Structure 1
Amino acid sequence: MIRLLLICFVSCVVLGEQTEKKSGVIEEEPLSHLEQQHDQSHEHEHEHEHEHEHEHEVLLEQDGARSFNQLQPEESIAQLGILVDRIDINKDDFISEDELKIWIQNVQRNYTNEQVEDRWKDFDVDEDGLISWDEYKNVSYGSYMDDPLMREDLNIPQMLQEERRFRAADTDGDLKADKHEFNAFLHPENFDHMKDVVVQETIEDFDKNGDGFIDLNEFIDELYPPGKDENTPDFMEKERQDFLEVKDKNKDGKLDKQELMELIFPADSEANSEAKNLLKESDTNKDGKLTKTEILDKHEMFVGSQVTNYGEAVVPHDEL
């Protein structure tokens, strides 16, 4: 099941799709723009992902390939230099904010398309070029439904949540997904017509009292489950203040659908925000554009960003 989460670790909100590992359920890949994840303590439901600082390593561990942090600095710099030439669309030897944004958007798009291709064979059982809801349900939950000993572990609310998302992604209503529709199912945060579903799933994941809102306690408990540690981390107080002063715009002590919509889908896109930040941090002469030298001087920051798909693009092809 793809879980859509409102996460806040360092006073920002990130929507994530948590990788879940369940007996009989195919493991989901993280969402394209998932950069931070939280630790949930739902017994029999979750095996937790690494935190943000380790996530790129998870994405890069493929068939024994070296990850970028195993490369010598000169290797990653050389590969990044090749990449800069490709980012420079108009070939003027400068990288603009728009060129960075377009490149990051393409990286995100390619990543999600690859995920669809990688997962397609798992679910298109009859190989007809479409994935029906029944095919997805049987592959993901069949072992639970067919085995009486496992039936009590079947997570019906989770299955129904996924069915609702599948129907929302299925724009022609035939309960069969082509690759575009399956992409919307796996990565709903990238599709405008899936926004309401994303918000609803986020509420359901956090809302323990069933009132249709996320109150402060529910929000904090998901970030730092009760009983996890006797001492609450210092940053949690900042999270409380941020919830009350920033996230809860109408000051009613809880997050409603509109407030969540604005948090999960800010006006400034993720690609645009990252492009702005990379430019700001690398533009040493403050001329509003980047030279290859300025980028290579900050190669560690660029290699650890979406520009390189968190380092994957700077691993030489003969290493993959």
Structure 2
Amino acid sequence: MQLLLLSLIVGVTLAVPPQEKRVHHHRDLSDHVHDDAQGFQYDHEAFLGKEEAKTFDQLSPEESKARLGKIVDRIDTNKDGFIDHAELHHWIKHRQRRYIEENVDKHWKDYDQNKDGKIAWTEYKNTTYGFYLDDDFSDLENKETYMKMLTRDERRFKAADKDGDGIASREEFTAFLHPEDSKYMKDIVVQETMEDIDKNGDGKINLDEYIGDMYTPEAGEDEPDWVRTEINQFSEIRDINKDGFLDAAEIAQWILPGDVDHADNEAKHLIHETDKNNDGRLSTSEIMDKIEVIKISTLTDYGTLLLKDHDEL
């Protein structure tokens, strides 16, 4: 059911703090403490998943560096032995596009049941919900949840279906799976975000809902410093009209700022974190010295490229 989640993590940079990413973290993402001062294991598992992170951790330091070296060679297009901002920016955008294409390819075969090169809403609905629909949800404890998911998927599918014929072309299906990357899907992204956070259903987001989407305090836990920062962000930046709530327009400004180039931000961040001699470019040795940062970067698709052979890149 991961298709039903809004995958806003694509293209988000390490330059923004975790609470800014509008990604819903569950407690079982990692058993490790989320404290960069104690290491990057939480982020490592959160981005890769526990099992895949374990696989990656089984690689020797030498093997990790050897595979990273192959990636660095691909990024260094002018073969001068260094990676500059332009090369890094181009590579990250390339990986972002490829991620989406591979994700669509992965699921296209599952849903195009009649192999006509298109996906009808009925094909998607029957493949995703057919078992539950046939059973009329009689034995399903989470009937209400699944019905909401079905309704939400149908609404998103119709929004992606530009010509309204009930059948998605590849472009339309890509917009359905990755609405955050399609300009004409902006309204549906905002609507789904509103529904996720607006717990009292009044059509707007108050401060408690805003913070509650990011942070649930544990018994006896001290409130992290970033929570106070986010409270100030809500009142001083997010709440543009100062009415104490976020409406749809303010949510759009928050989660879909039109002038943000995430790949550019990521490239700048990686150079800032990795460029020890401050010459504005990265040598192979500088990158290898910061392999823990690189592992949780879009540079390596959050580490997954390090698990692949060179031919798969």
Question: Shorter chain as normaliser: what TM range?
Answer: 0.7 to 0.9
Paired with 2:244 and 2:44, the residues of 1 have a C-alpha distance of 31
C-alpha spacing 1:315/1:156, structure 2 compared with 1 (3 Å): closer
Q: Which amino acid aligns with 1:282?
A: T
Shift of 1:256: 1.8
> Alpha-carbon deviation of 1:188?
1.1
1:153 aligns with 2:160: no
> CA, structure 1 residues 271+246, in 2 after alignment: closer, same or farther (shift >3 Å)?
same
Q: Distance in 2 between matches of 1:84 and 1:99?
A: 10
Aligned length: 287
What residue in structure 2 maps to residue 135 of structure 1?
Answer: 123
Instruction: Give the counterpart of 2:26 among 30, 34, 39.
Output: 39
Gaps of 5+ in 2: 10-15, 31-41
Query: 1:189 maps to what in 2?
Result: 180
1:269 counterpart residue number: 261
The CA deviation at 1:52 is 4.1
| 1:309 and 2:301 correspond | yes
Among residues 223, 230, 241, which one is paired with 1:234 in the alignment?
223
2:241 corresponds to 1:254: no
1:123 is aligned, of 83, 88, 111, to: 111
The one-letter code matched in structure 1 to 2:306 is: V
Distance 1:216 1:269, change over 3 A: same
Shift of 1:98: 2.0
Deviation per CA, 1:77-119: give whole Å up to 9, x if none.
1221121111112333321212111111111211121111221
Matched letter for residue 261 of structure 2: S
Indicate the residue corresponding to 1:69 in structure 2. 57
State, as a whole percentage, how many aligned pairs show the same letter: 44
2:20 is aligned with what amino acid? V
Change (3 A) 1:118 1:4: closer
Question: How many Å separate the matches in 1 of 2:202 and 2:302?
Answer: 39
Q: 2:282 aligns with which of 287, 290, 293?
A: 290
Q: State the match for 2:4 in structure 1.
A: 2
Question: Counterpart of 1:30?
Answer: none
Offset, 1:180: 2.5
- What is the rounded CA distance, in whole Å, between the counterparts of 1:230 and 1:294 in structure 2? 42
Looking at structure 2, the residues matched to 101 and 187 of structure 1 have their Cα atoms a distance apart, in angstroms, of 21
Q: Secondary structure at the match of 1:254?
A: coil
Instruction: Return the TM-score normalized by structure 1.
Output: 0.78
- Structure 1 position 176 matched with structure 2 position 167: yes
* Residue number in structure 2 paired with 1:299: 291
Shift of 1:71: 1.1
TM-score, scaled relative to structure 2: 0.80
Residue 38 of structure 2 is aligned to residue 80 of structure 1 = no
Residue in 1 aligned with 2:21? 14
CA RMSD of aligned residues (A): 3.0
Offset from partner CA, 1:200-251 (integer Å, 9 cap, x none): 11001111233321111222333345xx744454124443333223322332
1:223 is aligned to 2:214: yes
Which of 45, 52, 63 in structure 2 is aligned with 1:54? Answer: 45
* Worse overlay, 259-268 or 187-196: 259-268
C-alpha distance in 2, partners of 1:161/1:94? 47
